[in-house]
């Protein structure tokens, strides 16, 4: 019998389950790159479309865990030495956490987690785990690659349009009973004809480029590896060898690279200074990719016309985090990758990974981040340990 420690965000303040606004969600069987959506062997312990990412939803894993004689411990209290996470960690063989409510597995915590064999990210992005320490301790790290890529891509498109068209402040004016059209439009532009740049064109970055193509933007990208020439041609992409060259050329930037030690604070005062005045930056990748106070300075000086995203550091962000109140921001809590649609996929993917782990069969290569003491699968392609 194994102890499975699952760290999830708290239930809705209005109680669980919420009143759902729709009865069904579309069934997605494949992703754009041909990868199949999760295919667990056993039956799902939930109805797709239910809220699974909060404590009472338990990622729909209760039937599987208890049916196989494992103990499933679901908590949300995750930060600080007196947290429930620290209390249960030494006994856990499996830790499951979502990036939206990350249970930070630091090297100090990994040292205390002597029974831990696998850390599963229910979602994408395992930077809340110290990957180097996990590799040294022989812990496997896996995530549900592809499960919420389109969820995030749709969120990014929404933020591009919201910022450029000044949607949120105009909506506020409507709510307040106003009709101040001049105020609404003083910062409102069409994106048609603008230059848009993707920093990283992986699953999400490329999906954003594809979705923006019909808006008649000029599309640019940079990435470690160049996309294949047919894709560049199909989307009319301009490739840049580095981010500096890209930010000088574009009006809107989408940052979509993973966070690892050398990408921390990728956007800082120097990078902002290279952008066109009045550019927009969207970051639904990770909060630490951007230096917190440099964004505030860039918005206050007018170097940036707007900043939007859903990722912060730490998470949850403190109530006085400056990104909550800085001018011209379109921030949301970390929610893009945890729509009810996304949850159905990553909960099924978590079950698939658990089944493979407990059955002793191979975890899909694309789900692996760390295995046998080194980066593996998707981890070997997209992450660096330094
Ligand atoms: P992918 O692995 O598909 O793509 C990441 C891309 O980043 C790859 O093409 C990789 O290059 C590229 N890359 C890595 N390092 C650099 C670098 N230094 N400069 C430029 N490009 C780089 O991941 P996804 O698209 O699925 O996800 C990207 C990130 O988005 C995740 O790591 C996660 O942090 C975040 N995310 C956020 C979510 C949210 O809810 N807001 C949900 C899901 C993900 P290559 O592989 O060619 O070497």
pTM of this prediction?
Answer: 0.97
Task: Please name the residue whose Cα sits nearest to atom 40 of ligand 1.
Answer: 337
Best residue for ligand 1 mutational test, from 225, 257, 288, 379 (most atoms within 8 Å of Cβ) = 257
Q: What spacing in Å lies between the alpha carbon of 28 and ligand 1's midpoint?
A: 22
8 A C-beta contact, residue 6 and residue 71: no
- Report the pLDDT averaged over residues 319-348: 98
Give the model's pLDDT for residue 286: 97
pLDDT value, residue 386: 82
Is 149-324 the same fold as 3-148+338-376? Answer: yes
289 falls in which pLDDT band (50, 70, 90)? very high
Q: Is 149's C-beta closer than 6 angstroms to any atom of ligand 1?
A: yes
Nearest CA to ligand 1 atom 35: 285
For the chain, give the percent of residues with pLDDT over 90: 99
What are 322's two structure tokens? 């400056």
- Ligand 1 proximity of 205 Cβ (cutoff 6 Å): yes
Higher pLDDT, 157 or 382: 157
CATH 3.40.1280.10 fits 3-148+338-376, yes or no: no
CA of 2 to the centre of ligand 1 (A): 32
Q: Point out the ligand 1 atom lying closest to the alpha carbon of residue 286.
A: 34
**What are the sequence ranges of the domains in the chain?**
3-148+338-376, 149-324
Question: Catalytic amino acids?
Answer: 148, 286, 315, 334
CATH (one of 3.40.50.720, 3.40.50.300, 2.130.10.10, 3.30.365.10) for 149-324: 3.40.50.720
**Whose Cα sits closest to atom 39 in ligand 1?**
337
Start-to-end CA distance of the chain, whole Å, equals 36
- Give percent of the chain with pLDDT exceeding 70: 100
pLDDT at residue 217 is higher than 90: yes
pLDDT digits (tens, 9 = 90+) for 230-279: 999 999 999 999 999 999 999 999 999 999 999 999 999 999 999 999 99
Atom of ligand 1 nearest to the CA of 336: 40
Helices 149-164 and 203-212, packing angle to 10 deg: 50
Dist CA 299 CA 306 (whole Å): 7
Residue 267 DSSP code:
B
Span from the CA of 121 to the centroid of ligand 1 (angstroms): 15
44 three-class SS: coil
Beta strands in the chain (DSSP E): 3-7, 71-75, 94-97, 118-121, 140-143, 195-199, 218-222, 238-239, 252-255, 279-283, 304-309, 368-371, 374-375
Cα(4) to ligand 1 centroid in Å equals: 28
What is the spatial distance between Cα 239 and Cα 27, in angstroms, rounded to a whole number?
34
How confident is the model at residue 205, as a pLDDT? 98
Ligand 1 close to Cβ of residue 197 (< 6 A): no
Cβ contact 67:60 at 8 Å = no
**What is the Å distance from ligand 1's center to 146 Cα?**
11
Q: Is 64 in contact with 45 (CB distance < 8 Å)?
A: yes
DSSP structure string for 50-106: S--SBTTTGGG-HHHHHHTTPEEEEE---SSTTSHHHHHGGG-SEEEEBTTB---B-
Helix (H) or strand (E) holding 293: helix 292-301
Looking up tokens 């947290």 gives: 83
Checking if the pLDDT of 319 tops 90, the result is: yes
């Amino acid at each position: 019998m194994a102890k499975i420690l699952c760290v999830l965000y708290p239930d809705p303040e209005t109680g669980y389950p919420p009143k759902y606004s729709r009865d069904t969600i579309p069934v997605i069987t494949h992703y754009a790159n041909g990868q199949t959506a999760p295919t667990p062997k056993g039956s799902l312990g939930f109805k797709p479309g239910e809220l699974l990412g909060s404590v009472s939803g338990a990622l729909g894993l209760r039937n599987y865990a208890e049916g196989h004689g494992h103990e499933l411990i679901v908590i949300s209290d995750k930060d600080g030495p007196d947290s429930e996470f620290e209390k249960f960690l030494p006994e856990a063989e499996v830790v499951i956490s979502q990036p939206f409510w990350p249970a930070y597995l630091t090297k100090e915590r990994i040292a205390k987690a002597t029974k831990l064999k696998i850390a599963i990210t229910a979602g994408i992005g395992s930077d809340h785990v110290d990957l180097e320490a996990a590799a040294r301790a022989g812990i496997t790290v896996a995530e549900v690659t592809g499960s919420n890529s389109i969820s995030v891509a749709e969120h990014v498109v929404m933020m591009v349009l919201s910022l450029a068209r000044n949607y949120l402040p105009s909506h506020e004016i409507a709510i307040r009973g106003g009709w101040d059209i001049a105020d609404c439009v003083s910062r409102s532009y069409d994106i048609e004809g603008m230059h848009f740049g993707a920093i990283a064109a992986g699953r999400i970055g490329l999906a954003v480029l594809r979705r923006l193509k019909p808006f008649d933007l000029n599309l640019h990208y940079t990435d470690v590896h160049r996309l294949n020439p047919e894709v560049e041609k199909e989307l009319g992409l301009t490739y840049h060898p580095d981010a500096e060259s890209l930010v000088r050329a574009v009006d809107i930037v989408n940052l979509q690279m993973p966070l690892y030690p050398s990408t921390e604070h990728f956007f800082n005062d120097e990078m902002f200074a290279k952008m066109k005045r009045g550019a927009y930056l969207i970051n639904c990748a990770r909060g630490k990719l951007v230096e917190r106070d440099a964004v505030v300075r860039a918005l206050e000086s007018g170097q940036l016309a707007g900043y939007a995203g859903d990722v912060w550091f730490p998470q949850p962000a403190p109530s006085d985090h400056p990104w909550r109140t800085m001018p011209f921001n379109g921030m949301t809590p970390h929610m893009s990758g945890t729509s009810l649609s996304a949850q159905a996929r990553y909960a099924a993917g978590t079950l698939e990974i658990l089944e493979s782990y407990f059955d002793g069969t191979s975890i899909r290569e694309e789900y692996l981040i760390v295995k046998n003491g080194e980066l593996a699968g998707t981890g070997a392609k997209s992450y660096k340990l330094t």
